[in-house]
Structure 1
Amino acid sequence: MKQNLNFILVFILLATLSMVNAIPHRLQKRSFSFGSCTPLKGKNPPPIISVEVASNTIVPGQTNTLVVTGMLIEPIFESTQLIAQFVDSETNNFIGEPSINSICGGAGCPIKGGTQFTTIIGNLLAPSQLPDEYSIVVSVIDEFKDILGCANALIDNE
């Protein structure tokens, strides 16, 4: 009799787990990493900067925080900007508004070339509707719109 109860209990447990697994749900990819950016035609690739997402995931419709560090060849001045932008990987179109920040932050400018910097982007608003596959591009841009450093992450939620 006890074996029958154990068998019934195991059967109910397996049936419940299979039903939960059959429910359609979309898991958000929890980890991704930033790599180098594609160079513009006729240009060398910009130096890669290091970017970490504070929560290790991007939450659509919410503000996300990025920690950006790097060591650039060129000096960083007050006019140097740190820009983060979402990009649709299929169409290469920008999604939402870019987050434009001063790279100087608390470090103060100018920062000599070859000196490590750390800046926090605390206001990266992820659009509420993101495609299944998108990129986040973080760039350091000078006053002449030259890219001094860059990082790119591909996020695939399929």
Structure 2
Amino acid sequence: MNQNFVLILVLLIMLSIVNAIPHQLHKRKTKFGSCGLSPVLDVSVSPDPIVANKNATYTISGILKKDITDAYQVFILYYVDGAEGGNNQNFDICTKIKCPVKAGTKFEMKQKSLVPPGLPPNGYDIGVGIDTKDNSKFELIGSACTHV
């Protein structure tokens, strides 16, 4: 009987100590990395995590091996289970930065994108990249991907 009383007392003390420790929720930051296709862009997004059917602002920067000219565009792609989502967007890069940007020179830009509705809370991918505007001549000069 004394052993049960001691065990219950110890459990209550441990429970009160655990409740006294402040709980911190660690926000997981979305980290973009290599897509394996081209030089990696530095990308961050706000809000983080993104919210479906709302605008997200992407900060895109990097140092590329090719000049950025008005022949290129920025794209943001949303993938669910490997299939492209319904809100893949292309943007004229030279409306956000002064073109041309010489190879080896750092650039930085911000781009808003409407996040598609119906993205699951997890299990989707985002791809950000710079390629040619000419659809017949795909040339990816920088990219970054993430899985959320």
For residues 53 and 102 of structure 2, the distance between their equivalents in structure 1, rounded to whole angstroms, comes to 37
2:40 maps to amino acid: I
Match of 1:63 among 55, 68, 73: 55
Q: For the aligned residues, what is the CA RMSD?
A: 1.7
What per-residue deviation string (whole Å, max 9, x for no partner) do you get for residues 76-125 of structure 1? 1112100001011x2x1100121211222343211111111111111x11
Does the 8 Å CA contact 2:40/2:144 hold for their aligned counterparts?
Answer: yes
What is the deviation of 1:30?
4.6
What per-residue deviation string (whole Å, max 9, x for no partner) do you get for residues 19-52 of structure 1? xxxxxxxxxx7522000003xxxxxx30000011
2:142 maps to amino acid: G
Aligned length: 119
Q: TM-score, length-normalised on structure 1? A: 0.69
Instruction: Please name the residue that 1:93 is paired with.
Output: 83
Instruction: Please name the residue that 1:79 is paired with.
Output: 71
Query: Which 4+ residue blocks in structure 1 deviate beyond 4 angstroms?
Result: none
Instruction: Please name the residue that 1:9 is paired with.
Output: none
1:37 maps to amino acid: C
Match of 1:129 among 88, 108, 118: 118
- Is 1:118 aligned to 2:116, yes or no? no
Bigger Rg, structure 1 or 2: 2
Identity of aligned residues (%): 29
Match of 1:35 among 33, 36, 40: 33
For residues 30 and 58 of structure 1, the distance between their equivalents in structure 2, rounded to whole angstroms, comes to 12
2:78 maps to amino acid: F
| Contiguous gaps of at least 5 residues in structure 1 | 1-28, 39-44
For residues 148 and 103 of structure 1, the distance between their equivalents in structure 2, rounded to whole angstroms, comes to 13
What per-residue deviation string (whole Å, max 9, x for no partner) do you get for residues 42-64 of structure 1? xxx30000011122210011111
Does the 8 Å CA contact 1:34/1:51 hold for their aligned counterparts?
Answer: yes
1:102 maps to amino acid: D
